[in-house]
Amino acid sequence: MSPMSMAAAVAPPDLAQAKADYERDGFCIIPDALSPSEVAAVRQRITEQAETEKALGWAREDSGPTQVARLLKDQAGFQQEDLSEVTGGVNQRVNLLVNKGKVLRDLVTHPIGLEMMEHMLGTYMLLSSFSANIAKFGGVEQGLHRDNWWCPIPYPRGEAHLKVGDSKRYALEAENTPEDVLVPACAGNVLWMITDFTEENGATRVAPGSHLLPHNPDGSVPHKIPTVPAVGKAGSCLIFDGRLWHGTGRNLTREPRIGLLTYYCGPQFRQLENFFLGLDPAVLDEGSERLLDLLGYTTWMNYGVTDHLSSRKRLRAREPWIPELRMTPKA
């Protein structure tokens, strides 16, 4: 290999350009974020995991045409357990990937993802969820949505407004949202492309600049505003703002499109996956300090406090609490 091509092979991605793209469009695509051998290892792990969950009848499958209609009708009553092939699901989701192999877990603390998320969200953040979306033939285009759809939206003084407990993922566009007031990014995604993402195989559809729109989309298909496919070679990552209007594309090929979504949020928000119930205890023993912080096993401005939670030693001994105590009367 010539010195020139060696330099090309190891050149770090240009994150300055990526950050500028992100500021303008609400997303950016970073090629070669993972090496071919990393992609191969991740692909093997996620494929065997997904196939086994499917064989055991545990697969969560969404984006089937009939199922989507039902979901939109009954958002609050729709349970995760309802997502399966039996109920008309097509695209396979695999959740709690932090439990499902070190090669996957390492993506959560990948320096490229963390640098971009710190640029977007600031110093402190949490991992909200880490899941796979395997888009397959027959799945429909996903309605445009914002990942931080739950973010309260400002409203004109004295006017009616949506109460925080009445928020919905697919809401009607708010009519009285002030045009010149924005909320900051409260969440962001690093979507790792584990296969090539093409327009044909269902690359994520994104609406450039929609992160700066004051309101949320209504989730209808066909989409009401123009979108472009976020295309890239396997090993690229798509970074996008939680406010960006986006949705999974439609896979018209017979090959699965595999995307892994490391989804982060500000430290003050509820995480999508419940790591305190769902984390394999072995990950507590093995995970790095950074990973445990991102999972929420730490405090932020005293939020998340329990007795001794900040003591890693006690946490690893599975005793983050102080039990019921009372003074024994002196004899």
| Residues at the contact surface with ligand AKG, assessed by CB under 6 A | 133, 204, 246-248, 259
To ligand AKG, the closest distance from the beta carbon of 261 in angstroms equals: 6
To ligand AKG, the closest distance from the beta carbon of 160 in angstroms equals: 29
Residue 4: φ, ψ to 5°: -65, -45
Which candidate, 105, 63, 160, places its Cα nearest to that of 295? Answer: 105
Which amino acid is located at 145 in the chain?
Answer: H
Which amino acid is located at 1 in the chain?
Answer: M
- The residues pairing with 145 across neighbouring beta strands, listed in sequence order, are 246
DSSP 283: H
Number of CB atoms found within 10 A of residue 187's CB? 26
CB 198 within 8 A of CB 250: no
To ligand AKG, the closest distance from the beta carbon of 233 in angstroms equals: 16
Residue 239 or 292 with smaller CB distance to ligand AKG: 239
Residue 27 or 297 with smaller CB distance to ligand AKG: 27
Residue 85 or 155 with smaller CB distance to ligand AKG: 85
Residue 154 or 199 with smaller CB distance to ligand AKG: 199
To ligand AKG, the closest distance from the beta carbon of 246 in angstroms equals: 5
Alpha helices in 56-87 (DSSP H): 65-73
Residue 177 or 227 with smaller CB distance to ligand AKG: 227
Helix/strand/coil for 253: coil
Per-residue three-class SS string for 147-200: CCCCCCCCCCCCCCCCCHHHCCCCCCCCCCCCCCCCCCCCEEEEEEECCCECCC
Number of CB atoms found within 10 A of residue 277's CB? 6
To ligand AKG, the closest distance from the beta carbon of 257 in angstroms equals: 8
Helix/strand/coil for 255: coil
To ligand AKG, the closest distance from the beta carbon of 139 in angstroms equals: 10
To ligand AKG, the closest distance from the beta carbon of 158 in angstroms equals: 35
Residue 213 or 292 with smaller CB distance to ligand AKG: 213
Q: Give the Cα-Cα-Cα angle 169, 229, 35 (nearest 5 degrees).
A: 105
Residue 247 or 267 with smaller CB distance to ligand AKG: 247
- The residues pairing with 189 across neighbouring beta strands, listed in sequence order, are 240, 263
| 170, HSE (Cβ side, Cα atoms, 13 Å) | 19
Residue 265 or 292 with smaller CB distance to ligand AKG: 265
To ligand AKG, the closest distance from the beta carbon of 58 in angstroms equals: 18
